[in-house]
Chain A
Amino acid sequence: MESLAILKRVGERFPGKVLELSERKPDPFAVVDSASIVEFGRFLRDDPEFAMDCLSNETGVDYKEHVEVVYHLFSYSHRHGCELKVKLPRANPEVASVEEIWRAANWMEREIFDLLGVNFIGHSDMRRILMPEDWLGYPLRKDFVEPLEYHGIATVRESPIIRLDQQKKK
């Protein structure tokens, strides 16, 4: 099935819970109610018409006004997929974890938590994954400012080109 057709069928199945259906080129997506993402996930995985047995990708995007979590679902038996999104407030983004539906979500949600600060409720192991445990802030947020040092190690260095120029002038 075409991914736009899937999204339309899902919209008919869950009236009022698909908040926005976008044909934004080139890829279509649906923004769904963040409180019922687990319900959507279970339905799409278990319904034989869709059989989305794989969470092919889960990631987050910071849009300055809100944070989005993007789910790319895929079905190996039907060879089709679709893209769902949830919009979350930027101040304290929280959404239910889909780890129970697709185990692959475990690490992908940890990465989103680590880099964008989205808290996944019901996740079994909500720790930072790529950044150090004691890192402050979420690097993929648009307003993130990199600290100048980490445990006394400088994160910036002076440009060797500028230094060479200054030496030449002397």
Chain B
Amino acid sequence: MSEAFHTEEMTLNMGPQHPSTHGVLRFVIKADGEVMREAIPDVGYLHRSIEKIAEKVGYHGFMPYTDRVDYVCAMFTNQGWAMACEKLGNVEVPRRGEYCRVIATEFNRLASHLLTVGLMGMDIGAMTPFLHALREREMINDLIEELCGARLTFNYMRIGGVAWDLPPGWREKAIAYLDHLAPILDEFNSLFSYNKICIERLANVAVIDAADAINYNLVGPNLRASGVNWDVRKDMPYSVYPELEFDVPLGSGEWGTTGDAMDRYMMRIREMVQSSRILRQALKQMPEGAVLGKVVRNFKPPAGECQIRVESARGDQGWYVVSDGTGFPWRVHVRTGSFAAMGMIQKLSRGLMIADLVVLIASLDVIAPEIDR
């Protein structure tokens, strides 16, 4: 052949209603054949101006709105907002209330990670693991429904504690569920995680090294998969986490390179095991007493500002709240894990196959409402 093989760049649209984009988000993909030159994320389809709403509804009134920041793990957004208000207003939370929070959030972490690992299966073309994971998630939803009456947008926490104590008999049900989950996780691993197809699809894809992960402000499991040992629960302890024993799993590069998609995926599986450990201890150690401290209905924290960090299922969630001394916050900002992860996709997509973009999104555990807020 005298002439070189002719290729040209084409521009593809992916989304906003693509099934594997985890919510409503859109990519403009510049590709040469199957290989992407760049995927440019276009976000904002789920922007509901939650930060502006906070300025209008007051401190107590904002609690149900925080559920919508990240509806897959709403307990953490509840907790972040409650903790920010408590820090500003200097409110004590009763110890049983703190334990209720830890139990609720860790169950929520299990539910969220189950969805993530299931979605990973679905995104690479296997429907069965998704159904298995969702079957287990349903049971957690049932437990949480019994606890607070809702299955997705919980509105369980209040400034100064939680709204309701554990219902009678709930503790036994919760322990029974944890006993049931342990073998299921092993089964899920042998069915899907250690499956050759899964490993081939995920190992060595979209490797993020530790310096890049920090520079792009990745948080939570995504950061730890790159080998950075940082867990807010351990390193900036809040609530009753210092009393509970658990390990922080780190990415090891067992199947490929440290910080690849497989590491990020396995992070969720390992964290579920740790969450189960935390739950067993918390359910056992829980003291008796009140669950909600005394907080005035017309809550007016003194003028000031604070930042709170909570280890959510999608990583270190930062709440920045400015109070001007009135009953309405002056400014609320929530820094979420998905926002940072999404900002990194444009860089990571260079040179990836189009089919690997969905793996990348799923492994970063991006949830669209959390990006747009």
- Which A residues contact B (CB, under 8 angstroms)? 24-27, 29, 53-57, 59, 61-62, 70, 72, 76, 79, 83, 102-104, 106-108, 111, 115, 128-132, 139-140
- Which B residues contact A (CB, under 8 angstroms)? 43-44, 47, 49, 51-52, 87-88, 211, 214-217, 228, 230, 235, 302-307, 316, 318, 320, 322, 330-331, 333, 335, 339-340, 342-344, 347, 372-373
What chain B residues lie within 8 Å of A55 (beta carbons)?
217
What chain A residues lie within 8 Å of B330 (beta carbons)?
61
Q: Which residue of A lies closest to B47 (CB)?
A: A130
Report yes or no: A70 in contact with B215, Cβ–Cβ below 8 A: no
Report yes or no: B215 in contact with A130, Cβ–Cβ below 8 A: no
Least Cβ–Cβ distance between A3 and chain B, in angstroms: 10
Report yes or no: A57 in contact with B306, Cβ–Cβ below 8 A: no
CA distance A33 to B214 in the complex (A): 26
CA distance A153 to B161 in the complex (A): 41
Report yes or no: B333 in contact with A57, Cβ–Cβ below 8 A: yes
Q: A62-B331, A111-B339, A129-B44 are in contact. List 17 more A-B contacts (CB 8 A).
A: A24-B305, A25-B304, A27-B306, A53-B215, A54-B214, A57-B320, A57-B333, A61-B331, A72-B318, A102-B217, A103-B215, A103-B344, A104-B215, A106-B343, A108-B335, A129-B43, A131-B44
Report yes or no: A70 in contact with B320, Cβ–Cβ below 8 A: yes
Report yes or no: B372 in contact with A54, Cβ–Cβ below 8 A: no
What chain A residues lie within 8 Å of B339 (beta carbons)?
107-108, 111
CA distance A59 to B87 in the complex (A): 20
Which listed residue, B52, B228, B333, B344, touches A59 by the CB 8 Å rule? B333
Jot down 8 A-B pairs with beta carbons below 8 A, ordered by A: A27-B307, A54-B217, A55-B217, A57-B307, A59-B320, A108-B343, A130-B43, A130-B372
What chain B residues lie within 8 Å of A70 (beta carbons)?
320
What chain A residues lie within 8 Å of B211 (beta carbons)?
53
What chain A residues lie within 8 Å of B230 (beta carbons)?
76
Report yes or no: A56 in contact with B318, Cβ–Cβ below 8 A: yes
Report yes or no: A130 in contact with B216, Cβ–Cβ below 8 A: no
CA distance A137 to B164 in the complex (A): 42
Q: Which residue of A lies closest to B236 (CB)?
A: A79
Least Cβ–Cβ distance between A31 and chain B, in angstroms: 12
CA distance A131 to B330 in the complex (A): 21
Report yes or no: B340 in contact with A140, Cβ–Cβ below 8 A: no
Report yes or no: B306 in contact with A139, Cβ–Cβ below 8 A: no
Report yes or no: A140 in contact with B52, Cβ–Cβ below 8 A: yes
Which listed residue, A83, A104, A115, touches B340 by the CB 8 Å rule? A104
Given contacts A59-B320, A72-B320, A104-B217, contact A26 B43 (CB under 8 A): no
What chain B residues lie within 8 Å of A107 (beta carbons)?
339-340, 342-343
What chain A residues lie within 8 Å of B303 (beta carbons)?
24
Which listed residue, A26, A103, A129, touches B306 by the CB 8 Å rule? A26
What chain A residues lie within 8 Å of B316 (beta carbons)?
56
What chain B residues lie within 8 Å of A111 (beta carbons)?
339
Report yes or no: A104 in contact with B343, Cβ–Cβ below 8 A: yes
CA distance A115 to B88 in the complex (A): 25
Most buried by A among B318, B331, B342, B372: B331
CA distance A107 to B344 in the complex (A): 9
Report yes or no: B216 in contact with A103, Cβ–Cβ below 8 A: yes
What chain B residues lie within 8 Å of A27 (beta carbons)?
304-307
CA distance A78 to B329 in the complex (A): 32
Given contacts A26-B87, A130-B372, contact A57 B214 (CB under 8 A): no
